[in-house]
A and B are shown apart, each in its own frame.
Chain A
Amino acid sequence: MEAGRFEHNTGSEEAFPVGMTITEKILARASGRESVQAGEIVRVKVDLVMGHDVTLPLSILEFENMGAPGVYDREKVVAVCDHFAPAANNAAADRIKMLRDFAREQGLAHYFEAGSGQSGVCHALLPEEGLILPGSVVLGADSHTTTYGALGAFATGMGSTDIAAAMALGETWLRVPQSLRLYYRGELGKWTSGKDLILYTLGRLGAGGAIYQATEFCGPTIEALGMSDRFTMCNMAVEAGAKNGIIARDAKTEQYLLERTSQTYVAPSSDHDAEYADTFEFACEELQPQVAFPFSPDNVRPVQEAGGVSIDAAIIGSCTNGRLEDLRIAADILRGRQVARGVRLIVIPATQKTYLQALKEGLLEVFAEAGGAVSTPTCGPCFGGHMGLLAAGERAVSTTNRNFVGRMGHAESEVYLASPAVAAASAVVGRLVHPAEVAE
């Protein structure tokens, strides 16, 4: 990627007037302003635009209808084949070909497809490739674009036509969101993770509890979380209706970026006197692994109160929990154990790099020895596309992000959302269990 991707990379935090949140500061910078206020409509420059094989075909059609001569910057428009890739059927093959052709015609610097080098599920892949920087504005034709906020970026999902416009113009309009301050304190228990934190938070906020708002995750518990868990939390911010999720850049963010990019960036943080729509505090010491029951991610209860629901499938993967750290946790539980009779375990590393590293570490062998199926990276069953769908009456525990009616297959199937630890332990027992029931 060319140097100087940022047009305002010489500023300092002192340049901002006091009293702004991190989200407001990013949007102020992107709109060429000193400051912005929540509720204002601003036109912002966009640092990165992403689409995938489900949403980008519609964008490409609209892009052509717009009469755009070309994308605004070939380094800043990213195409990822992940949902139905490797092509699950004839229609998917056509859609993927549309992306491949568009990427070639436009000379896109970043096109990703399984079997052609680096690839994977977009929200795991883009950060891993060093394409997401703190302080940047990222638009994705996918609701889980909120994931990138874990690196201190403003990242939000939009529909295909909005993305087509951004590809053509390099800008978009946004209403500056109010921010919710979500403060977490206390050390997490051995079997409690970022997934449990966000599920618990969704239970508190509700499915519409952060609608139009920025959710800012902060506090000692967040500071102690690794990047993988932070991505998981920002990924599911949208399940409360949030416009974006965001975590301020710190030493862990810097280390993550140091290993992946040489780009410079300016990473603002929230002022102490910034205004929030509301603040929620969470005491995390006693938090137990959580499970979201059908048919909403906010329908949450501790796993001990899950009533031992029996399962037919356990699915570990996705942009929510398909990272290397997630696979290590699952492998620790499954090592030397077998999947329960009648249960199907499907493990889907989120990216090619994750797959390869998991292979080198022997994690894939653990899953295979346990009786599980290991897939090449894909969104696959997470959205009901392919690679392990559910029949009528079947139940799955899944590390994914949504459990709506029919989300992973038949309208009469059920999905229970949980962490990799709970999914792996439940696969061994055949019902929803606390990981401590299986492993030390």
Chain B
Amino acid sequence: MTTLRGKAWKVGDNVDTDQIIAGRYLSLTDPEELGSHCFESARPELAEGFSPGDILFAGENFGCGSSREHAVVALKALGVSCIVADSFARIFFRNCINLGLLPVECPGAAASIAEGDDVYLDTASGKIEDLAKGLVFEFNPMPPFLDEVLAAGSLTAYVQKRLSERHAG
């Protein structure tokens, strides 16, 4: 279970993975190097000011476009541990789960929360609080089918487990 408290950062609808990490950097694999170019052109002030604990709020279809997992790697290196969006692009959503970046689908939250608001998120209660405005938003827990992967910690750890079971079996 996760709790986070920090500052809200906001982006709009249909934020594509090219904005998160541009194509010219895709021959990189080092997380720190990728992180140093995250949101470089699209949101330079976010790239510079984001602190661990801060939460990224987005509109519809966050992470659309290219399947590049580099986008999740870069966001994590920037310190992003949770993204709250009205909806996610499906490949990006899977990438988040697989790499341990929490994607929270909570329609309407981003529209009501202002950039810079002091926000608190608790996955146990399924609540996001805007402490500046006194607003509370509720979100559904992860679908049960993902529990097995999440319980393992990452898809890589899950596959390790599956392979060892096969070997034992």
Contact surface of A with B, Cβ cutoff 8 Å: 41, 54-55, 57-58, 61-62, 65-69, 83-84, 88-89, 91-92, 94-95, 141-143, 157-162, 164-165, 168-169, 173, 207-208, 211-212, 241, 243, 296, 383-385, 389, 402, 404-407, 411
Contacts and interface: CB of A to CB of B under 8 A. Distances in A.
Nearest to A98: B29
A241 B94 contact: no
Interface string B65-82: 111111011000000000
A38 to B, nearest CB: 14
A405 B91 contact: no
Nearest to B143: A41
Nearest to B42: A405
A158 B67 CA distance: 6
A159 B65 CA distance: 12
A92 B27 contact: yes
Contact of B18 (A67, A83, A406): A406
Contacts of A143: 65-67, 91
B32 to A, nearest CB: 15
Contact of B163 (A159, A168, A208, A407): A168
B24 A161 contact: no
B155 A208 contact: no
B133 interface: no
Given A142-B67, A383-B66, A407-B18, A54 B27 contact: yes
Contacts of A411: 22, 41-42
Contacts, number: 142
B22 A55 contact: no
B156 interface: yes
Given A405-B18, A411-B41, A385 B26 contact: yes
Contacts of A212: 90
B64 A159 contact: no
Contact of A404 (B16, B73, B154): B16
Contacts of B65: 143, 402, 404
Interface in B1-39: 13-14, 16, 18-19, 22-24, 26-29
Given A41-B143, A404-B18, A405-B41, A211 B69 contact: no
Interface in B147-165: 154-156, 158-160, 162-164
Interface in B42-90: 42, 60-61, 64-70, 72-73, 87, 89-90
Given A157-B67, A211-B89, A162 B24 contact: no
B99 interface: yes
6 contacts: A54-B26, A91-B28, A141-B67, A142-B66, A159-B67, A384-B18
B92 to A, nearest CB: 8
Determine the interface band of chain B, counting residues with CB < 8 A from chain A: 35 or more
Given A41-B145, A91-B28, A208-B13, A65 B94 contact: no
Nearest to A66: B159
A334 B87 CA distance: 44
B156 A66 contact: yes
Contacts of B94: 158-159, 162
A41 B163 CA distance: 21
Nearest to B167: A69
A305 B166 CA distance: 60
B155 to A, nearest CB: 5
Contacts of B24: 384-385, 389
Given A159-B67, A169-B159, A211 B95 contact: no
Contacts of A91: 27-28
Contacts of A161: 69, 95, 98-99, 154-156
A208 B64 contact: yes
A211 B61 contact: yes
Contacts of A164: 155-156, 159
CB-CB nearest 8 A-B residue pairs: A384-B23, A411-B41, A208-B61, A159-B95, A91-B27, A383-B23, A159-B69, A161-B98
Nearest to B26: A54
A143 B90 CA distance: 10
A211 B90 contact: yes
A241 B62 CA distance: 10
A84 B27 contact: yes
Given A55-B69, A58-B29, A211-B87, 13 more contacts: A54-B27, A65-B156, A141-B67, A143-B65, A143-B91, A161-B154, A162-B95, A169-B159, A207-B64, A208-B14, A211-B89, A406-B22, A411-B22
